[in-house]
Structure 1
């Protein structure tokens, strides 16, 4: 065991070099989340039933070549355990969002984990921390996308394969990041099959976690087994600066037609762009609420595929 790790730590094999790598390179570590007792199927079944309706996301994705189509679902009258059983049958995933806001035991866990990071990083100051739970079907795939905050994925059950792509304008143009930040699109981004030639591939097993650089594009494929995973998000001052710069660039592109603006996350140019972002949001022009406005299916544990179509959904 590494000398920086105590027997009761959640992070098992942190080493001093990870302080320099976090947020800059992908890092794969081991963890003890399973030992907390908060992520068994039975406990998660009850958590699903506690979850506010607006924080429970259900999706199914079908692929045809390089194109994909998303369908969105609802829990309906299914119990939590029925929902997990249904997900084990079909090609879908459930996203239990912002768990720490309405389940205090998960807030305590989230604080404990980031206290560990803070102790190891010598003042790793974070805010707007978030914890969610993903329950997804065997062989389920998540399309090519990017996230707007610091992100990590912690595996509880099953195995995921993560394809992580270079963080460059070839794979994720700044204009696409702007569309995500301004909520003009979901996190999905245009993808070409040859991108995979440049991907770094990680298989994530129970007890392992992976974190990667900000805005690094990635896609996920489940192995042939039900998957339970935990997602954690965080912001730092540097991440906020990057957000403000990309958001401000998007506003200036849409209002003044300015092109090729700097995306550096430090320097005097951060402040006027942050002001542009603030004014854009105050104007009411940013799309608010859930980008998804319809539901195509509901959970049905009795169905061979775990769901039934909602009548009239297109």
Structure 2
């Protein structure tokens, strides 16, 4: 049944067959947020100034074709939000504001509105542990091939980027690699990549007012075009996604500690319930292998420096 179109909706081109695709195939949709004041320069500048150290990342990587080298982690000190945006426009960095809703409740209200629309339009879809992360990227910046653990979407607000989405199956995403990611034994960007993967990628051009949702754990990489880009990601959990998480968590424990090489990923039956019990036993005990992530910071955003960064003596922080 087609849901009635509302004048206040965020998704602007919903179709009756989209519920059958949601979460199972890549789904590109239009949205109405390209002119939202929440993503204008003055709002982003205020947000940057108010964001605490633990709620942002600023990254740099060399501009190279294809999958870029490992990124570097930096810091913002002594600059206004407007100065930081000026560096992004002309430099070679990108900023992730990982918890804007904690700084300004308006972003939390936006997140709730987005998911309310999906839950209204996709029968049985109920989400929780949702988050919104804002991405502000320099021209031509590329984001390394990676996969995410929760359900994920990318919303383009300003500028244009290409998004390469790969199958969430081997060889693009191996079962051991996914398990290490879930156990915290590997970073998202540690996923192995081969140039020929691109022959099997879906390539989506996201302009302002477009968004993309892809299947769980789908590997992807991003190439921003020659302008400042502003976008945001949303992530969520559902009961079904938590089942997949628990199975892969338990499989990772069994593979790394018991040396069991062949493990199914079933989310039903006796093997599932045994793995669910194992995952719960390990995760909430001292045996939990997941640790806080450590980040080595070795540059500072500097408007006077080439590419907008100045090397500093490195230090490490965890979160």
TM-score between both structures, scaled by the size of structure 1: 0.94
* 1:113 aligns to 2:114 (yes or no): yes
Q: CA deviation at 1:171?
A: 0.7
Structure 2 residue aligned with 1:151 = 152
* 1:94 aligns to 2:95 (yes or no): yes
Structure 1 residue aligned with 2:301 = 299
Q: CA 1:46/1:67 → structure 2, altered by over 3 Å: closer, same or farther?
A: closer
Of 240, 243, 249 in structure 2, the residue corresponding to residue 241 of structure 1 is 243
Of 256, 259, 270 in structure 2, the residue corresponding to residue 257 of structure 1 is 259
Q: CA 1:18/1:87 → structure 2, altered by over 3 Å: closer, same or farther?
A: same
Contact map agreement 2:164 2:201 (CA 8 A) in 1: yes
Q: CA deviation at 1:305?
A: 1.4
Contact map agreement 1:89 1:304 (CA 8 A) in 2: no
3-state SS, counterpart of residue 33 of structure 1:
coil
Of 195, 199, 208 in structure 1, the residue corresponding to residue 210 of structure 2 is 208
* 1:196 aligns to 2:210 (yes or no): no
Q: CA deviation at 1:118?
A: 1.1
3-state SS, counterpart of residue 313 of structure 2:
coil
Q: CA deviation at 1:301?
A: 1.8
Q: CA RMSD in A?
A: 1.9
Q: Deviations over 1:181-232 (max 9, x none)?
A: 1111110211001111111111100000001001111111011111100110
Q: CA 1:117/1:201 → structure 2, altered by over 3 Å: closer, same or farther?
A: same
3-state SS, counterpart of residue 130 of structure 1:
strand
Structure 1 residue aligned with 2:57 = 57
Structure 2 residue aligned with 1:272 = 274
Q: Deviations over 1:121-156 (max 9, x none)?
A: 134210100111000111101111111111000001
48-57 or 282-291, larger mean C-alpha shift: 282-291
Structure 2 residue aligned with 1:169 = 170
Contact map agreement 1:149 1:234 (CA 8 A) in 2: yes
Structure 2 residue aligned with 1:230 = 232
Q: CA 1:178/1:82 → structure 2, altered by over 3 Å: closer, same or farther?
A: same
Contact map agreement 1:161 1:220 (CA 8 A) in 2: yes
3-state SS, counterpart of residue 235 of structure 2:
strand
Structure 2 residues without counterparts, runs of 5 or longer: none
| Separation of aligned partners in 1, 2:251 and 2:93 | 35
Q: CA 1:312/1:291 → structure 2, altered by over 3 Å: closer, same or farther?
A: closer
Q: CA 1:198/1:105 → structure 2, altered by over 3 Å: closer, same or farther?
A: same
Contact map agreement 2:68 2:144 (CA 8 A) in 1: no
Structure 1 residue aligned with 2:15 = 15
| Separation of aligned partners in 2, 1:133 and 1:154 | 9
| Separation of aligned partners in 1, 2:201 and 2:182 | 24
| Separation of aligned partners in 1, 2:152 and 2:122 | 17
Structure 2 residue aligned with 1:290 = 293
